């Protein structure tokens, strides 16, 4: 595979396929470089602590890195380290999103999070997935589906959001839930798999 292949031929790159939700080859050189860049920013971000900076300086330093790292951010967002992701550039967060410690975003496809949405510790947003067919998996192919989370949601500690899920506005998801299907606005949902228990 040509490391510096451009798209003049009209042929999709592996990155194009990844973002289109198609099977792609994650060991592609371009994607490998992108993940390496994200990991360097991730470790730099996670190394910034209250021991190094005042409270005001801490927020500024973190936002500088996030603006280099994420695809789109509005105003201030607050992510407690450690935080982990694959690429960063597929993540969009509106203003005042809060993530507690040890959250993971596998952003092989787009992850959109609305304003004032909060996450407890150890949450996982997993856009990455694999086919159940073992022969396809053995070829090293993967795919990803987008995740969208609305505004003013509360995502409890340890929640897992699976590929392709859309969560509406003003939703509460109970701690430890596994969200496998779309969630409408204005509900409380809990369990594995998560189900609506209250409007």
Tokens of 7: 């798209």
Q: What are the extents of the domains in the chain? A: 14-198
pLDDT digits over 141-161, tens only? 999 999 999 999 999 999 999
Indicate the CATH number for domain 14-198. 2.160.10.10
Tokens of 180: 């496998």
Q: What is the DSSP letter of 112?
A: E
* Active site amino acids: 130
Report whether 70 contacts 88 (CB < 8 A): yes
Give the other-Cβ count within 10 Å of 83's Cβ.
18
pLDDT digits over 35-76, tens only? 999 999 999 999 988 777 888 888 899 999 999 999 999 888
Report whether 52 contacts 14 (CB < 8 A): no
pTM of the model: 0.91
What's the maximum distance between 2 C-alpha atoms anywhere in the chain?
53
Q: What is the pLDDT of residue 4?
A: 42
């Amino acid at each position: 595979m040509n490391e510096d292949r451009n798209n003049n031929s009209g042929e999709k790159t592996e990155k194009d396929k990844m973002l289109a939700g198609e099977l792609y080859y994650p060991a592609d050189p371009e994607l490998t470089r992108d993940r390496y860049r994200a990991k360097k920013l991730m470790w730099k971000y996670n190394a910034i602590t209250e021991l190094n900076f005042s409270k005001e300086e801490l927020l500024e330093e973190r936002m500088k890195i996030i603006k280099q790292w994420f695809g789109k951010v509005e105003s201030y967002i607050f992510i407690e380290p450690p935080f982990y992701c694959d690429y960063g550039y597929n993540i969009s967060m509106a203003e005042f999103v809060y993530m507690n410690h040890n959250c993971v975003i596998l952003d092989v496809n787009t992850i959109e999070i609305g304003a004032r949405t909060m996450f407890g510790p150890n949450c996982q947003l997993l856009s990455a997935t694999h086919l159940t067919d073992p022969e396809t998996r053995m070829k090293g192919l993967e795919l990803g589906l987008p995740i969208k989370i609305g505004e003013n949601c509360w995502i409890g500690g340890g929640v897992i959001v699976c590929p392709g899920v859309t969560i509406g506005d003003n939703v509460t998801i109970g701690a430890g839930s596994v969200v496998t299907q779309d969630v409408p606005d204005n509900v409380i949902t809990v369990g594995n798999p998560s189900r609506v228990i209250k409007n």
